[in-house]
C-alpha cells in the first residue's frame, strides 16, 4: 500500500467536478483507492461518498492506494489532485 | 401591481407574459411485490434510458453553454451510476419487497438529506442534484416523459424551483427570464441562467407562487431581484427605457471591449475600476477595466461585528488579486471615521468628523488594526500585482511612520517564513490641499499618487458634501481644484512617479481632455463607466 497527503487549495474544496474527476480515474484502476478526512473515509470511485466527506479548502486529506497497479494509480490520482485541487 | 423581492441572478431586465412551469405530477406509491428480480430489471432499464437522455442534454448544453457549464450533466450521469446510490436502491427493493419507484424515492430522500445537513452552502445545494436525477429515474420507471408544458412564445418562466436539466431543456429563444420561489445563488440553475445570459430572479417566496397565473404580465429585474406582477403603465415605461439603456451599454461593450485607451494622436492612458467589495470583480472584468485603481477595504470592517482577522482579510485580498490574474490591484487601507463608522469600534463623538480622526490618522492612533491589515496585504501580495494606498495624508512624517511599520511587518513575515512580493507598490491619496501643495516633498517617498477628488473638493472649497445648502458653492470644476491636481501631476512626474485619479471626477467625460493634458496616467472609475471613458479617450486628439 502507498499513500500521500494533500492539502486542498481549491476554494470550494472537493466539489462535484473534481469528485467526478477522481471517481473517473479511480475506476480505471484495479487498486482500492480511499480518501481519508480525519477518521472519515470514502472510496475514491464513489462520487457521492467523496462529496459527502465535505472536504474544504485548507483541509488535509490522506489518500491510500493498494493493489496490483498501485504505483500507476497513485501517480494518476496525485497528478489530478495537484492540477485541480 | 404587486412586487415580490428575491435575488437577482443575471444582471438584465425582462418584461413580458408569464408561463407557469408545471411538472407532470408523479405520485410515488409503495407497492408490495414478490418479484424483486423484475423490479431490479426495470430499474436497470430505466437507468439506461435516463443516462441516455442525460447524454443528450449534455450535448445540448455543450453546444449552447460551453463545456464548462455542461459538466454538471456529466456529473449527473456519474451520480446515477454511483455504487452507493444504486446499492441503496437495490437494498430497499430486496429487503422490503417493494417497487423500484418507491425505492428510488426513499434513497433520494436519504442522499439529499446527507447533502442538506452538510455545513457549506455549496454542498447543501447539491441536494437538488440528487433530487433531479432521482425524479428523472422515477419518471422513466413510471413511463412518463418527465417534462411539463413547453411554451411556444417568448415568456417569463415561473416555477417553484428548476432543476438544472429542466433549465437547460427550455428553448433559449423562448425564454425571457426565469423566476422561482426557491433556490439559491449557488444552485446550478442560477449558474446556468447566468451563462445562458437570461435574467433570473430567485427566492421570491411562496406567495409569489400562488399569485402568478399563465398569461399575466410581469417584469423580472435581475439587477434588483424584484419581480413585479401586473405592473402599471408608468413602471412598464420605465422598464422599457432601462432595457433600451441596457441595449446601448451592450452595444458600447461590443464596440469597445478589448480596444486600447488611446487618443487619435497616440497618447495612452490606463482606465481602471473602483470597487467596494470582492463581489464587484465580475463587473470589473465584464467592463474590461485594465486593473483595479481603488479597492475600498472598508466593507471588511463595516460588514463585520468585530475587527476582521488577518486571515479573513488575507483570503479576500488574495481572491481579488487572483481573480485579476496579474492585472494591477490597488487596495486602499481602511478609511473609517468621518461619515463611515462601525458599531463595534468605540469612536468618540467628534464635533467635526470630516476634520477628525479618520483615514491614516485612525490607523496611526490604533496601530494594531493597521498592522493586522498590512500583514494581510503583504501576505496576499504574493498572489498578484498589488499596490497599497494610504488615505488622508497631509504630512511627510505620516509616510515615515507608515514606512517604519511596514518594514517591521515585512521583517516579521520573513521571520515566520511567509512570502510576499518585493514589487508591491505603495502610494498615497492626494485628497487634502496640504498633500497637493507639498506633493514635491511627498513624491520621492512613494511609488504613486491617486487623487481623491470628492474629499479634495470638499476640503479645498470648505464645502460639506452632505450639506445640500452649500451645494451651489461646491463647484466640481473650480479652478483651485484643477490647479491642485495639476500641481500634484507635475510633481509626480518630476520624480518619475505615476499619478491617477480615483474620485468621481475621473468618470466626468467633460474633464477627460483636461486630465490627459495635465499628464494624468490613470483614471479609475466605477466599472459601469470604464467603456464610456474609453470611448471619450479614443475620440480625443491632443495634438
Residue B185 has pLDDT above 70, yes or no: no
Q: If you average pLDDT over residues B343-367, what whole number do you get?
A: 85
Of A58-67, B83-92, B132-141, B491-500, the range with the highest mean pLDDT is: B491-500
pLDDT for the residue B24? 67
| CA–CA distance, B237 with B244 (Å, rounded to integer) | 11
- Of 1.10.274.10, 2.60.120.430, 1.10.10.10, 3.90.650.10, which CATH number belongs to B24-141? 1.10.274.10
pLDDT score for B146: 47
Least CB-CB distance to A47: which of B72, B79, B319?
Answer: B79
Q: What confidence tier does B174 reach under pLDDT thresholds 50, 70, 90? A: confident
Per-residue exposure over B439-457, b if at least 16 CB sit within 10 Å of its own CB, e if not: beebbebbbbbbbbbebbb
Tell me, what's the pLDDT at B151?
58
Which of 3.40.720.10, 3.30.1490.190, 3.20.20.60, 2.102.10.10 is the CATH number of B268-539? 3.20.20.60
With 70 as the cut, is the pLDDT of residue B187 above it? no
CA A24, A46, A37: angle at the middle one, nearest 5?
110
* Residues of A whose CB is below 8 A from B281: none
Would you place residue B303 in the very low, low, confident or very high pLDDT band (cuts 50, 70, 90)?
confident
Q: Which residues contact B538 (CB under 8 A, 6 or more apart)?
A: B256, B259, B261, B262, B263, B264
Interface mutation target, options B51, B69, B74, B82, chain A, most CBs of A under 10 Å: B82
pLDDT at B338: 62
Work out the average pLDDT over B379-401. 97
More confident site: B425 or B250: B425
- Residues B304-341: tens digit of each pLDDT: 788 899 999 999 999 999 999 899 999 999 998 766 66
The neighbouring-strand residues paired with B294 are: B274
Is pLDDT of B73 > 60? yes
Q: How confident is the model at residue B462 (pLDDT cuts 50, 70, 90)?
A: very high
Asked if pLDDT for residue B467 goes beyond 60, the answer is yes
CB-based contacts of B219: which residues, under 8 Å, 6+ apart? B13, B14, B15, B226, B227, B228, B231, B235, B236, B239
Report the domain count for chain A. Answer: 1
Name the pLDDT band for B150 (thresholds 50, 70, 90).
low
Report pLDDT for B96.
Answer: 92
Statement: residue B292 has pLDDT above 90: yes
Instruction: Give me the active site residues of B, please.
Output: 188, 502
Partner-chain residue, chosen from A16, A43, A49, that has the shortest CB–CB distance to B126: A16
Residue B364 has pLDDT above 80, yes or no: yes
Sheet with A32-37: strands ordered across = A2-7, A60-66, A32-37, A40-43
The count of CB pairs under 8 A between chains A and B is 48
Q: Could you tell me the CATH number of the domain that includes residue A12?
A: 3.30.1340.10
The pLDDT-based confidence of B149 (bands split at 50, 70, 90) is low
C-alpha of B543 from chain center: 40
Grid coordinates standing for A30?
A: 484495479
* pLDDT of B348 higher than 80: no
Task: Give which of B407, B428, B397, B425 is closest to B333, Cα–Cα.
Answer: B428
pLDDT number for residue B243: 87
- Which range, of A54-58, B81-85, B343-347, averages the lowest pLDDT? B343-347
Enumerate the residues of chain B whose CB falls inside 8 A of the CB of residue A46: 82-84
Q: Where are the beta strands (DSSP E) in B55-174?
A: 155-159
The whole-angstrom separation of Cα B126 and Cα B503 is 43
Residue B78 to residue A56, Cβ atoms within 8 A: no
- Measured in angstroms, the CA of A13 and the nearest CA of chain B are apart by 10
Integer Cα distance of A68 and B433 in angstroms = 76
Instruction: Please report which helix (H) or strand (E) contains residue B390, including its range.
Output: strand B385-390
- Can you say whether the dihedral through the CA atoms of B440, B441, B445, B451 is positive or negative? negative
Q: For chain B, give the percent of residues with pLDDT over 70.
A: 95
Average pLDDT across chain B, whole number: 89
pLDDT for res B393: 98
**B285: closest CA of chain A, how far (Å):** 20
CA distance B91 to chain A (A): 17
| Alpha-carbon span B456 to B177, nearest angstrom | 44
Q: pLDDT at residue B145 above 60?
A: no
**pLDDT for residue B71:** 82
CA distance A3 to chain B (A): 24
CB nearest A54 (choices: B83, B123, B319): B123
**Mapping DSSP to helix (H, G, I), strand (E, B) and coil, where does residue A38 land?**
coil
Residues of chain B with CATH 3.20.20.60: 268-539
pLDDT tens sequence across A69-84: 999 999 999 999 999 8
- Collapsing DSSP to helix, strand or coil, A6 comes out as strand
CATH 1.10.274.10 residue ranges of chain B are 24-141
A51·B71 Cβ contact <8 A:
no
B246 touches B13 (CB < 8 A): yes
Catalytic residue among A2, A6, A15, A59: A15
HSE-CB of B147 using CA atoms within 13 angstroms: 14
Which of chain A's residues have a Cβ under 8 Å away from the Cβ of B111? 48
In this structure, are residues B425 and B447 in contact, taking their beta carbons and an 8 Å threshold? Answer: yes
Max mean pLDDT range (B120-124, B131-135, B350-354): B131-135
Mean pLDDT to the nearest integer, B360-365: 94
Chain A residue nearest residue B83, CA to CA:
A46
Q: Hey, which of B49-63, B272-286, B503-517 has the most confident mean pLDDT?
A: B503-517
Decide the pairing of beta strands B155-159 and B200-202: unpaired
Q: Taking the model in full, what pTM does it have?
A: 0.57
Indicate whether A64 pLDDT > 70.
yes
Minimum-distance CB partner of B82 among A15, A47, A56: A47
Q: What does the alpha-carbon distance between residue B539 and residue B520 come to, in Å, rounded to a whole number? A: 17
Q: Which residues of B touch A19 (CB under 8 A)?
A: 75
Range of the domain at A37: 2-84
Of B108, B125, B142, the C-alpha closest to B185 is B125
Amino acid at each position: 500500500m502507498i499513500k500521500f497527503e494533500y492539502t486542498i487549495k481549491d476554494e470550494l474544496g472537493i466539489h462535484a467536478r473534481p469528485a467526478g474527476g477522481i471517481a473517473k480515474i479511480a475506476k480505471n484502476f484495479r487498486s482500492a483507492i480511499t480518501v481519508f478526512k480525519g477518521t472519515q473515509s470514502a472510496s475514491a470511485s464513489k462520487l457521492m461518498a467523496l462529496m459527502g466527506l465535505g472536504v474544504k479548502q485548507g483541509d488535509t486529506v490522506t489518500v491510500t492506494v493498494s493493489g496490483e497497479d498501485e504505483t500507476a494509480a497513485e501517480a494518476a490520482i496525485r497528478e489530478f489532485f495537484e492540477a485541480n485541487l | 401591481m404587486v412586487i415580490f423581492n428575491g435575488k437577482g441572478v443575471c444582471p438584465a431586465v425582462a418584461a413580458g407574459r408569464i408561463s407557469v412551469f408545471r411538472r407532470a405530477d408523479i405520485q410515488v406509491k409503495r407497492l408490495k411485490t414478490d418479484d424483486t428480480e423484475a423490479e431490479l430489471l426495470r430499474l436497470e432499464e430505466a437507468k439506461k434510458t435516463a443516462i441516455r437522455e442525460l447524454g443528450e442534454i449534455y450535448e445540448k448544453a455543450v453546444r449552447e453553454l460551453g463545456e464548462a457549464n455542461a459538466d454538471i450533466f456529466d456529473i449527473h450521469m456519474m451520480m446515477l451510476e454511483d455504487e452507493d446510490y444504486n446499492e441503496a436502491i437495490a437494498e430497499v427493493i430486496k429487503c422490503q419487497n417493494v417497487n423500484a419507484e418507491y425505492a428510488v424515492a426513499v434513497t433520494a430522500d436519504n442522499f439529499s438529506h446527507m447533502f442538506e445537513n452538510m455545513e457549506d452552502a455549496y454542498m447543501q445545494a447539491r441536494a437538488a442534484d440528487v433530487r433531479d436525477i432521482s425524479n428523472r429515474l422515477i419518471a422513466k420507471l413510471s413511463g412518463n416523459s418527465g417534462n411539463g408544458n413547453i411554451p411556444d412564445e417568448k415568456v417569463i418562466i415561473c416555477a417553484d424551483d428548476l432543476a438544472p436539466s429542466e433549465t437547460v431543456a427550455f428553448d433559449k429563444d423562448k425564454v425571457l427570464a426565469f423566476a422561482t420561489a426557491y433556490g439559491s445563488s449557488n444552485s446550478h440553475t442560477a449558474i446556468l441562467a447566468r451563462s445562458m445570459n437570461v435574467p433570473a430572479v430567485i427566492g421570491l417566496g411562496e406567495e409569489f407562487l400562488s399569485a402568478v397565473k399563465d398569461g399575466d404580465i410581469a417584469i423580472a429585474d435581475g439587477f434588483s431581484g424584484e419581480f413585479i406582477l401586473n405592473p402599471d403603465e408608468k413602471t412598464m415605461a420605465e422598464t422599457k427605457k432601462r432595457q433600451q439603456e441596457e441595449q446601448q451599454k451592450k452595444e458600447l461593450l461590443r464596440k469597445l471591449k478589448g480596444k486600447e485607451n488611446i487618443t487619435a494622436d497616440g497618447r495612452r492612458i490606463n482606465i481602471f475600476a473602483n470597487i467596494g467589495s470582492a463581489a464587484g470583480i465580475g463587473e470589473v472584468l465584464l467592463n474590461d477595466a485594465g486593473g483595479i485603481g481603488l479597492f475600498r477595504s472598508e466593507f471588511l470592517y463595516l460588514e463585520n461585528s468585530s475587527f476582521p482577522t488577518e486571515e479573513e482579510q488575507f483570503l479576500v485580498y488574495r481572491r481579488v488579486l487572483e481573480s485579476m490574474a496579474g492585472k494591477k490591484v490597488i487596495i486602499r487601507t481602511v478609511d473609517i471615521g468621518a461619515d463611515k463608522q462601525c458599531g463595534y469600534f468605540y469612536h468618540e463623538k467628534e464635533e467635526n468628523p470630516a476634520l477628525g480622526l479618520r483615514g491614516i490618522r485612525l490607523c496611526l492612533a490604533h496601530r494594531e488594526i493597521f498592522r493586522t491589515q498590512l500583514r494581510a496585504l503583504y501576505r496576499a501580495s504574493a498572489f498578484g500585482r498589488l499596490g497599497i494606498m494610504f488615505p488622508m495624508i497631509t504630512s511627510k512624517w505620516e509616510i515615515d511612520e507608515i514606512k517604519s511599520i511596514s518594514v517591521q511587518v515585512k521583517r516579521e513575515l520573513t521571520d515566520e517564513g511567509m512570502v510576499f512580493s518585493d514589487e508591491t507598490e505603495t502610494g498615497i491619496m492626494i485628497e487634502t490641499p496640504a498633500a497637493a501643495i507639498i506633493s514635491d516633498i511627498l513624491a520621492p517617498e512613494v511609488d504613486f499618487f491617486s487623487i481623491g477628488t470628492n474629499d479634495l473638493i470638499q476640503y479645498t472649497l470648505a464645502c460639506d458634501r452632505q450639506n445640500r445648502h452649500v451645494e451651489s458653492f461646491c463647484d466640481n470644476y473650480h479652478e483651485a481644484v484643477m490647479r491642485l491636481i495639476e500641481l500634484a501631476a507635475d510633481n509626480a512626474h518630476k520624480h518619475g512617479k505615476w499619478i491617477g485619479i480615483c474620485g468621481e471626477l475621473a468618470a466626468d467625460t467633460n474633464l477627460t481632455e483636461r486630465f490627459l493634458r495635465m499628464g494624468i496616467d490613470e483614471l479609475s472609475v466605477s466599472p459601469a463607466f470604464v467603456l464610456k471613458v474609453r470611448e471619450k479617450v479614443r475620440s480625443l486628439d491632443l495634438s
